[in-house]
Chain A
């Protein structure tokens, strides 16, 4: 079974049409890269998959393991195993990062008390992955994204993906704002997640990450439409020629 399927997706936000018939699959044990220029609709696609309320699906379907998600609210999509690492996650003063992760895990396990840690191995896991991501331990005790640097925000988003163990991981530009070591680190983690059988949708502007992790499929979205879809060679084409060329070549009638 294919994992996440997006079929002929048309989306509008308020009165603006943003996606015009997107079709793509993100299979388990694979990395599907989504590329495209600013404002092309990459984040919108991710938000729509996650069920963000302002993104209205006009036509098409989104399925997980063959089951449509369209009628489910965001939290239920998350509980079914979809995780989105946000491009720019908001600050949530008053809630610690560890409190959030513990609550999310308890919720997933069906525990009514979201605050208590039933299984101490979860805490160990948080610390282990934080260390792996070069995040200092005290970040877990800090309020979510309050005073986090750009890189810390990105890594904290990835940390939550590792701790929550979803089936499908959508990463919206996990590499922007990271230094080269950070990019390598993220690439290695993606490789591991792929090997574990996760379905990974990787949104990015640049092909620089693909030096360290090769995507299985690359889809380029321009103006809310798929311009081209193929293997890693598509990313090379983008890198060499730029989006203007892609637009010219594939949208020319």
Chain B
């Protein structure tokens, strides 16, 4: 409890964004949306997954409370408030106002342990928003030599409410993790989301992300390649629907020698939507012979849409195996349109192809068994 009070003080003291978070000191997140909702009461009802996601069988659901059903063998699920030996935010750290807010207010938490050497085919975790504030904290510990495929469905319904979701994952030595994350929010919902992943010696992680944000969605995936020969392959698809704003960050920090990382993102902006698609690959001095690539492409389809692709590569060691980055922001220009029309396709069909192409990049839709364009059915 003393801890909680400390977080409350930090909400006041900490800024929304650390200075030097971006070299341009630019604000890609509209923090005012969060500021105006910080005093929301806790939700009294939780949202329901939209029809096209109802065929998924959640094993663990976080909403007003925590529910676990049909948890596969090899997985231990506990209510995080009752687990004394783990400390939430230990990996994430509390450095910004929203982190402190989350640490102070989250209402439902799960501690998930994938036991050593177990093999988990499919673990579905669902986090639901509600008609007020909901905060979910999830700690996932993937044991040594374990093999786990996890799906995280993060959803917020049609209320002008607020959700915070922080996950802290650790892939222990020689484990293999495949995680698909779908973050889907209605136009009025605001959400602050951070996924932390620590990858230890010779562990391999495949991270797939599909986001389509709400009134303001700040989504951050922070991946730390901590161990020697650790591997990360992360791909994200971001769709900024009309009247939505998403600030998306996909980061890889290399500390492990000979670690290998790829982070890539494809985004599309529709109508007057907004998407900042950022990525930072950082190779620390101890990560000798690491290799890292970062890639970010955004296509703006709506005339009033705004999109940014901001990849960064920071290298603090003299010995790198490979390091590269590329980025682009494209609007549909007359020459694209003429080109595709000369193949018999019209503008609508071209737009549909670009949207589908961007969504399919991360393969989250196909691994959830949904049609790429179904995400518009919320």
Contacts and interface: CB of A to CB of B under 8 A. Distances in A.
Interface stretch (A4-12, A103-111, A223-231): A103-111
A115 interface: yes
Contacts, number: 81
B297 A92 contact: no
Given A94-B358, A100-B353, A103-B349, A74 B336 contact: no
B341 A75 contact: yes
A204 interface: no
B151 to A, nearest CB: 24
Contacts of A74: 338, 341-342
B349 A114 contact: yes
Interface in B353-376: 353-354, 356-358, 361
Contact of A160 (B343, B346, B353, B361): B343
B353 A93 contact: no
Given A75-B341, A78-B342, A93-B297, A114 B336 contact: no
A108 B354 contact: no
A9 B335 CA distance: 23
Interface in B333-348: 333-336, 338-346
Interface stretch (A30-38, A50-58, A241-249): A50-58
A164 interface: yes
Interface residues of B, number: 28
A75 B266 CA distance: 27
B340 A107 contact: no
B339 A90 contact: yes
Contact of A52 (B299, B336, B338): B338
A86 B344 CA distance: 15
Given A94-B297, A107-B349, A84 B358 contact: no
B328 interface: yes
A129 to B, nearest CB: 16
Contact of A107 (B334, B345, B356): B345
Contacts of A79: 344
B308 to A, nearest CB: 15
Contacts of B65: none
Contacts of A197: none
B344 A75 contact: yes
Interface string A63-78: 0000000000111001
B268 interface: yes
B344 A95 contact: no
A94 B340 contact: no
Nearest to B329: A93
Nearest to A92: B336
B95 interface: no
A107 B344 contact: yes
A128 interface: no
B305 to A, nearest CB: 14
A195 B361 CA distance: 41
Contacts of A73: 341
Interface residues of A, number: 31
Nearest to B267: A94
A2 interface: no
Contacts of B321: none
A54 B334 contact: yes
Given A92-B336, A107-B349, A78 B344 contact: yes
A103 B345 contact: yes
A104 B358 contact: no
Contacts of A99: 353, 356-357
A77 to B, nearest CB: 8
A89 interface: yes
A96 interface: yes
B22 interface: no
A143 B350 CA distance: 14
Interface in B42-83: none
B344 A93 contact: no
A47 B340 CA distance: 13
Contacts of A47: 338
A179 B278 CA distance: 40
Interface string A131-152: 0000000000001000000000
B18 interface: no
A126 B368 CA distance: 29
11 contacts: A75-B342, A78-B342, A90-B339, A92-B339, A94-B297, A94-B330, A94-B353, A94-B354, A114-B345, A114-B349, A115-B356
Interface of B: 266, 268, 297, 299, 328, 330, 333-336, 338-346, 349-350, 352-354, 356-358, 361
Interface of A: 47, 50, 52-54, 73-75, 78-79, 83-84, 86, 89-90, 92-96, 99-100, 103-104, 107-108, 114-115, 143, 160, 164
